[in-house]
Amino acid sequence: MPVAGHPSLSEAAPLPSRGMIGAMTRPIRRLRQASRTERREWLFAFILLLPSLTMLGAFVAYPFLRGIWLSLTDAVVGREGAFVGIDNFIKLWNDSIFRRAAQNTFVYTAAATVLKLTLGMLVALMLNNLMGFKRFLRASMLLPWIVPTVLSTLAWKWMFDPTFSIVNWLLFRLGFIHLRIDWLGGPVVAMWSVILVNVWRGTPFFAITLLAGLQTISPDVHEAAAIDGASPWQRFWRVTWPLLLPVTMVVVLFAVIQTFADFQLVYILTGGGPANSTHLFATYAYQLGVATAKLGEGAAASIAMFPMLFLVVLFQLWYIRRGDSGKGGTQWRK
């Protein structure tokens, strides 16, 4: 990932070299040379790892590889497909609904992540500085995260109902609106409504993780900064934020992955409508693969999000490693 003024990706994460290959095969050589006790330990470790490896193979690796294979076939429900190369991807490239879904996914992920980070940080700072009701407030704040997504989203669907919306009723009663808002009706407002629900649901995850990060920062650092005359904002920006950055980056990484592949919220709230204005990669892949029975095309739509998501994640991992190794701005382990 060449970025001007920054070390290249190859510097941060070099490709496997002869040395690395040697390092990878070293355990095997060591096992051959190991004593009986050591071999037993190796075997024990392997047995302990086996369940995890089996789970990963069965539930991650196999579906992923199967998905790649399906995306290269013309499989439909009830019939194994024949290999068609990249035909499905070419179809998707020319598919206006897919392009719309791709655009929506980026908007949805970017907007929701930024909002969740901002709100999550505010809530975390507030909870960190609260004197009373700490446990109660922390538990209450987690509710949106704990409640099953389908249930909470159905509740939101009711709140957004154009005829019976309690949100509209409140806004009307408070004098903010004179005409009702069709929260899920217009292309722009529908997308922002869906983002709002995602933010509502995802903010507690940010808040609780950032709160955990905040509590690892020694109060001495803040006191020292205060004695030096730093204002609250300066203390946040110069002390809290840099020290919290490693945790923040990890939380953002998880959130981006989850949001990018989000399905339930949109499926329940709008089904991708109106006029495909809220379709995401996952909902459109589902529509193609399951509702229209075209498994090959559905798998292709699903796999198509992988390279894009992979690039985003790769960038974030590189950024985290960069900080970890002390290169660049986020030298949090010093």
Q: Which of 7, 144, 246, 273 binds another protein (CB under 8 A)?
A: 273
Q: Considering only residues 166-195, where is the footprint of another protein by CB under 8 A?
A: 180, 182-187, 190
Check if the beta carbon of residue 303 is closer than 8 Å to that of residue 86: no
For residue 277, the minimal CB distance to another protein (Å) is: 8
Cβ neighbors of 95 (< 8 A, separation 6 or more) are none
Closer of 144 and 274 to another protein (Cβ): 274
The number of CA neighbours under 13 Å toward the Cβ of 229 is: 0
- Which of the ranges 46-54, 71-79, 203-211, 215-223 carries the binding residues for another protein, by CB under 8 A? 71-79
Closer of 298 and 323 to another protein (Cβ): 298
> CA-to-CA distance for 248 and 319, rounded, in angstroms?
12
Give me the sign of the Cα torsion angle 8, 12, 18, 24: negative
Contact between 66 and another protein per CB under 8 A: no
Closer of 23 and 290 to another protein (Cβ): 290
Contact between 98 and another protein per CB under 8 A: no
For residue 125, the minimal CB distance to another protein (Å) is: 36
Closer of 249 and 268 to another protein (Cβ): 268
Q: Where are the beta strands (DSSP E) in the chain?
A: none
**Strand, coil or helix: 76:** strand
Q: How does DSSP classify residue 326? A: T
Closer of 160 and 318 to another protein (Cβ): 160
> CA-to-CA distance for 79 and 316, rounded, in angstroms?
40
> CA-to-CA distance for 235 and 225, rounded, in angstroms?
6
Q: Which of 24, 77, 154, 155 binds another protein (CB under 8 A)?
A: 77
- Which of the ranges 76-84, 113-121, 224-232, 307-315 carries the binding residues for another protein, by CB under 8 A? 76-84
Q: Which of 26, 39, 79, 134 binds another protein (CB under 8 A)?
A: 79
Closer of 157 and 222 to another protein (Cβ): 157
Q: Where are the beta strands (DSSP E) in 255-318?
A: none
User: What radius of gyration, in Å, describes the C-alpha atoms of the chain?
Assistant: 25
Q: Which of 293, 309, 312, 313 binds another protein (CB under 8 A)?
A: 293
> CA-to-CA distance for 289 and 303, rounded, in angstroms?
12
Q: How does DSSP classify residue 142? A: T
Q: Which of 6, 7, 42, 95 binds another protein (CB under 8 A)?
A: 95
Q: Which residues pair with 83 in a beta bridge?
A: 73
For residue 33, the minimal CB distance to another protein (Å) is: 48
The per-residue b/e assignment along 247-263, b for 16 or more CB within 10 angstroms, e otherwise, is bbbebbbebbeebbbbe
Question: What is the x/- site pattern for another protein, positions 226-265, by CB under 8 A?
Answer: ----------------------------------------
Region of 270 please: left (phi>0), alpha (psi -120 to 50) or beta.
alpha
> CA-to-CA distance for 282 and 119, rounded, in angstroms?
26
Contact between 45 and another protein per CB under 8 A: no
For residue 79, the minimal CB distance to another protein (Å) is: 4
For residue 271, the minimal CB distance to another protein (Å) is: 3
Q: Considering only residues 136-165, where is the footprint of another protein by CB under 8 A?
A: 160-164
Return residues touching another protein (CB under 8 A): 76-79, 91, 94-97, 160-164, 180, 182-187, 190, 270-277, 286-287, 289-295
